[in-house]
Amino acid sequence: MSMRRLIQRFHYSRTVISKALAAIAFIAASSMFASGQAAEVLTIKSTGATAGGVGFFSDACRTDGTLFINVSANATHSSGGGPPVTSVAFAEVFIVAWDNCTQDYYFALYAGDVQFSIKDSGGSRPPKSATASGQLPSVDGNDFVTFQMALSGTGPLAEEDTQRRIRQGNITRKISLDVAFTRAAATLSVSTQSLGTIGIQNFSATLGNSKTSTTTVTK
C-alpha cells in the first residue's frame, strides 16, 4: 500500500473525524524526536465539536507532502509529561514530506489554543459548519504554523467507535474515540515560518461531535 493511500485510509478513521489524524507516516528517525525510552510528547482528551482534515502539497524541495489538521472543543491536554491544561479549543497540525534537497524526511508537529466557532446542529450531531484559526508553536519551539479554515457539512451522518495504535520509527500514536461525523466542504490556508505559504491540494475534511476522544503521542 502506498504511503499516500495509507495516510488517506487512516485519516477517515480519526477525522473521519475522527479528527483527521490519518495514518501519519511518522517518519523513522525524525530529527525532532530523539530515540530512547517511551516518553509523552503530547496527550489530548476532548468531548464535543471537532473539525479537521488532510491535504497534500509539494514545493521546490519537498514532494509527497501531507498536512493534517485537527481542532477540538473542550480539550484537556499535556505535553512532555507536564500538568494537564484545559482549553476552550485546541488544535494539532502535523506536516510530513520527503525533502529532495536534504534527501531526508521533513517532519513537524504543532499544537496550541485556537479560535473555533461552530454552527450547532443540536444534541450529539456534528456542527453544520465551523471556522477555526490560530498560530501554533511547534513542540520543539523552533517553528510556528498559522492557519485559517472554514468547513460546511455536506455528507450523511456516520458514527465511529474505535481504538488504534500506530507506530512509525520511534513514534507511537494511540487513539481512542467515539464520534459522530460528516464529511465537509472546506477551505484551508496555512503557512509556517520555515516553509512559508503551503499550497494545499485535495483537502478532505470532516466535522464531528465526539463523546470521548483521546490521543497520546509518545517517543
Res. 123: pLDDT tops 90: no
Q: What's residue 8's pLDDT?
A: 46
- Give the CA count within 13 Å in the CB-facing half-sphere of 207: 28
Q: What's residue 177's pLDDT?
A: 78
**pLDDT band at residue 27, thresholds of 50, 70 and 90?**
very low
**pLDDT band at residue 184, thresholds of 50, 70 and 90?**
very high
Cell output for 129: 459548519
Cell output for 145: 504554523
Q: To the nearest 5 percent, what fractions of the chain are helix, strand and coil?
A: 5, 65, 30
The better pLDDT of the pair 207, 108 is held by: 207
**pLDDT band at residue 170, thresholds of 50, 70 and 90?**
low
The better pLDDT of the pair 24, 191 is held by: 191
Cell output for 32: 525532532
Res. 50: pLDDT tops 70: yes
What's CA 39's distance to the chain center, in Å? Answer: 20
Alpha-carbon span 165 to 172, nearest angstrom: 7
**Where along the chain do its domains lie?**
1-36, 40-218
pLDDT of 74-84, one tens digit each? 999 898 778 89
Alpha-carbon span 40 to 218, nearest angstrom: 4
